[in-house]
Structure 1
Amino acid sequence: MQAWLQHLNELEMSVCRLWTRSGQRFWIRRPFALISRLGDGVFWYSLMAALPLVYGLNGLQASLHMMATGGVALLLYKSLKGLTRRARPCHHSHDIMALVPPLDQYSFPSGHTLHAVTFSTVAIYYIPELAWILVPFSTLIALSRIILGLHYPSDVLMATVIGLGLAYLSISAIM
């Protein structure tokens, strides 16, 4: 597994270098650092608290569903990080800087992206009109993880696939 990851790291390194270099510009780094910080949980917890207040019982159901899938997502991404132990781009190559401090040691998958996709998909299932804000926000979170030097594109892509799978599986379980 490690030899395969090493090869994948080398394939993706040029994209990481290019995107991280662009992120070193203050006017790019600052907004993406803020988006990433909001993706740490602040935005999602605030949304879960607000949904019942704004949407009543439907909002409460959405929030509870988001919390449940968030717990599963946490277990999934922690397990996968422990299994793969993929070094972050900023730890793999000396010419890629982490533009914000990483929350943990390993790269695969992106927990920020996994949670953003899972939470957004579940919330949009209950309240479709939230799509106009949640889809762009989740996309920006995913992009921020690469631009800030913390993840490879495949970390983000696979987190998106896993997040969608988890969300759709949980939605189909309640239908």
Structure 2
Amino acid sequence: MQAWLRHLNELEVSVCRLWSRSGQRRWIRYPFAFISRLGDGVFWYSLMAALPLVYGLKGLQASLHMLATGGIALLLYKSLKGVTRRSRPCHHASDITALVPPLDQYSFPSGHTLHAVVFSSVAIYYFPVLAWILVPFTALIALSRIILGLHYPSDVLMATLIGLGLAYASLSAFI
């Protein structure tokens, strides 16, 4: 691993320990595990299916836009994970437990957060009324990844920035 990533891991691991300890409480762990599970795709695919039913052609356009941008996000985050190969907090420190099984080996960036930001940003562009549910849901997904011991705060922060950049670029290209 690159020296700068080792240093960053050491800077952030104390925050990860603290948040992971809070996740040991069942009343915190179960809701965040559920939110994280919804962020695996269930919520987003359901939203993409519902938009055309509720909003017609504009909903279909939004869903296709979300699908295309999500595909680009998938390629981007898998490439970044392969390049950085940053270990997850639960693999870096023995006192941090993964409270749900990780979907892959590496930590940077958070794919859940990246997709949540991209999908929410695109959906809110088309339908601003959805912001009241999508913004808090996206924030909870991002928090869940740290609380569940799977990501460092910088994984989530960078995924948010990358997701916003990708959403903005896609809106410039598609609209």
Indicate the residue corresponding to 2:138 in structure 1. 138
- Quick one: distance in 2 between partners of 1:174 and 1:121? 14
- Quick one: distance in 1 between partners of 2:131 and 2:161? 18
DSSP 3-state at the match of 1:162? helix
Q: How far does the alpha carbon of each residue in 1:11-61 deviate from its partner, in whole angstroms, 9 at most, with x for none?
A: 000100000000000000000000000000000000000000001111101
DSSP 3-state at the match of 2:138? helix
DSSP 3-state at the match of 2:135? helix
Are 2:65 and 2:174, in contact at CA under 8 Å, matched by a contact in 1? no
Q: TM-score, normalization: structure 2?
A: 0.99
Are 2:123 and 2:130, in contact at CA under 8 Å, matched by a contact in 1? yes
Deviation of 1:173 (Å): 1.2
1:121 pairs with 2:121: yes
Deviation of 1:105 (Å): 0.2
Superposed, which structure 2 residues align to 1:95-174 within 5 Å? 95-174=95-174
Q: Structure 1: where are the runs of 5+ without partners? A: none
Paired-residue identity, %: 86
- Quick one: distance in 2 between partners of 1:120 and 1:74? 15
Indicate the residue corresponding to 1:90 in structure 2. 90
- Quick one: distance in 2 between partners of 1:108 and 1:72? 16
Q: Report how many aligned residue pairs link the two structures.
A: 175
Deviation of 1:174 (Å): 2.5
Q: Alignment RMSD, CA only?
A: 0.6
Indicate the residue corresponding to 2:60 in structure 1. 60
Indicate the residue corresponding to 1:45 in structure 2. 45
Q: TM-score, normalization: structure 1?
A: 0.99
Runs of 4+ residues over 3 Å off in structure 1: none
Q: Structure 2: where are the runs of 5+ without partners? A: none
Deviation of 1:4 (Å): 0.3
Indicate the residue corresponding to 1:23 in structure 2. 23
- Quick one: distance in 1 between partners of 2:2 and 2:28? 33
